[in-house]
Amino acid sequence: MALEIEDKFDVPEGFALPDLGGVPGCERVAEPLSHRLTAVYFDTPDLRLAARGVTLRRRRGGDDEGWHLKLPKVKGARQEITRPLTRSAKVVPAELASLVLAYTRGAPLAPVAQLETRRGVTRLLGPGDTVLVEIADDRVKGTVLGDEPVVRRWREVEAELKEGGRDLLKKVAKRLRKAGAAPADSASKLVRLLGDRVPGDRIPGPRPTTRPEPGSAGEVVVAYLRAHADALIAQDPHVRLAEEGAVHKARVACRRLRSALKAFKRIVAGTERLQEELKWLGEVLGESRDLEVIRARFAARLDGLDPRFVTGDVRRRLGDDLSAREHDAYGRIRAALGGERYFALLDALDALAADPPLTAKAAKDADKALSKIVDRNWRRVIDAYDVARGMEEGEERETAMHEVRKAAKRARYTAETAGMSGVAERAEQVQEVLGRHQDGVVAQGVLLEEAERARQAGEDTFTYGVLAGIESAEAARAHEEFPSVWSRLA
């Protein structure tokens, strides 16, 4: 896996690469190289990968031949996953095929295009002949495969950052532009070749029939829903690869979507079933994420203890044992992400984005309509806390305070949708303090379970009591702090 950071340029046939010697930060320009590359691109019949900015190819020639999967750009960079060439030129390796399931939804992958490229390579070198930037001057023959193949020819230039900062790439791009290169109109060679065959709204099938009015509440809400649906789908391959933070990001996207659908049900109607499915997916993702967080929490607690207080087999139980449970939970995530229920959820999100079920209220002015909804959701936080503080200390009050936290989270997401940062910040502070309390309560529960297992195995359980005391104190501090935080915010 690697991050690909590059600038692409359209150039006329008579374009000449400028002198790139003397670019600040570059020590010398290497002797040019040349390659002949043949790449076959795979996609579904309705080009679902291309529609989402994903490319999957099998390339021969050059110094990086093999299978290449490029995921959509994020903050100017694309993640590229490479695997060696396989014997079959027509069957995508199972591992790579699984990483695009969120886009294909199980539809078959087949060759859709072939690119033959004559490439001239110019490399800018730094200290120790480290390659800093690689400029590829490509003369391309592209063929759209099918019953009646279509052939196109063009020339383009790519400048890819290999080492160093992006400032160096900007300096190279500036010289290329001065020489007559123009920023490319297409994100990739494949998109340029396929042209208008690629679905313009990223979703195969019928085109949208409902479009929100500009400046309306519907426009703001639908844009928010589309952004977080995209975020959920974009995290799918990263979750499958078990990348750090990917499960958390996917879970947050689920929560934001579900919260928005609840809060704005008077603008986007009839989404109750979708909300339930988002809850299901969030719970599937949450099991592994919660174990990951609690395991890291206990590791930090143990590292901070006086070694005399760490007895028995506590590190194994709170480390390896929780890690094994986390691994099992990850297996359940992968199983869920390969199932029809998950694909149906993604289809429902696509349908919502393409043709949102807007109500008459969706046409109202965004500022007025959304501010009322934000105010209503902040009022829910106030009402929930009024209920909670009217209760005696105990389990019921704990449950009621958890409802306050849930209401604050929903108020925060609602305010973020409407761009009301002040309310969002207040809700986030409520959520943060109550979150610390809830984390302490949950940690105590896990410690009780693990201590009981240790006791049954005849192990020393002293350290579990020490940790439980720390967690109890942490929860109590947050509990005691909350009234003063509330009086300041409310």
SS3 409: helix
What's the pLDDT score for residue 201? 59
For the chain, which residues score pLDDT lower than 50?
205-207
Element (H, E) at 155: strand 150-161
Query: How far apart, in whole angstroms, are the C-alpha atoms of residue 292 and residue 329?
Result: 10
pLDDT digits (tens, 9 = 90+) for 389-438: 889 888 898 899 999 999 999 999 999 999 999 999 999 999 999 999 99
b vs e for 241-267, b when ≥16 Cβ sit within 10 Å of the residue's Cβ? eeeeebbbbbbbbbbbbbbbbbbbeeb
Query: How far apart, in whole angstroms, are the C-alpha atoms of residue 457 and residue 464?
Result: 14
442 within 8 A of 295, measured Cβ to Cβ: no
Phi-psi region of 121 (alpha: psi -120 to 50; beta: other; left: phi over 0): beta
Q: What is the DSSP letter of 65?
A: -
38 within 8 A of 51, measured Cβ to Cβ: no
CA dihedral sign of residues 383, 388, 389, 391 = positive
pLDDT digits (tens, 9 = 90+) for 34-86: 999 999 999 999 999 999 999 999 999 988 899 999 998 776 678 899 999 99
What's the pLDDT score for residue 1? 65
What's the pLDDT score for residue 13? 86
Q: Which residues pair with 160 in a beta bridge?
A: 6, 134
CA 454 to chain CA centroid, nearest Å:
38
- Copy the structure tokens of residue 221: 């809400």
- Copy the structure tokens of residue 39: 């790449």
What's the pLDDT score for residue 206? 46
Q: What is the DSSP letter of 321?
A: I
Please calculate the CA angle 208-255-232 and round it to the nearest 5 degrees: 55
Closest C-alpha among 364, 372, 356 to residue 215: 364
Element (H, E) at 196: none
Closest C-alpha among 284, 265, 380 to residue 331: 284
